Amino acid sequence: MCYTSSGNLPKTNMTINKRQKTLLPTLKERQRYVVYSIKIFDDTNTPIISRINDYIINECNSLLGIFDAGKAGIMNVMYDEKHRRGILRVENKYVDKIKVCLGMISRIGDKKINIDTIYVSGMINKAEEAMKKGS
């Protein structure tokens, strides 16, 4: 047993859990929220597919490629089936590329569609307002 220099108190080998330092604000990734709407040309009020968000993200991933899709960090935030509007979260440097990808999607299954970008914001609250305002 080891004794400290202060007397006869035993020295223990306990580790102190330290919190990891947070990133500086300049080093954090900046997110943008892209609000989009889907227009269907042969509108029969039938659901397009059950997982339209996954389809849009997969199409953007295939159009961007493996590396850019990973850096863009595309993530679905919400989708309103009634009004056919949704919000995607994207890295700020890839907003223009995502807009192009959304414009290039012309078909889902056998239905002809058009995806328009309505609004881009850095705050989720403003994006939700823009999504609800247009409906």
Please give the full DSSP string across 18-78, using - where no structure is assigned: PPPPPPPTTTSPPEEEEEEEEEESS--S--S-TTHHHHHHHHHHHHH-HHHHHHHT-EEEE
Mean pLDDT (the chain) is 84
Please write the tens of the pLDDT for every residue from 8-33: 666 666 667 788 888 888 888 889 99
Q: Given pLDDT bands bounded at 50, 70 and 90, which one contains residue 107? A: confident
Mean pLDDT in residue range 89-95:
94
| Domain extents in the chain | 31-133
- So what's the pLDDT on residue 36? 94
Q: β-strand 107-108 against 85-91: which pairing, if any?
A: unpaired
Answer for the pair 29, 73: CB distance below 8 angstroms, yes or no: yes
Please write the tens of the pLDDT for every residue from 54-80: 888 899 999 999 898 899 999 999 998
- Dist. CA 68–CA 84, nearest whole Å: 27
CATH class of 31-133: alpha beta
Number of Cβ within 10 Å of residue 119's Cβ equals 17
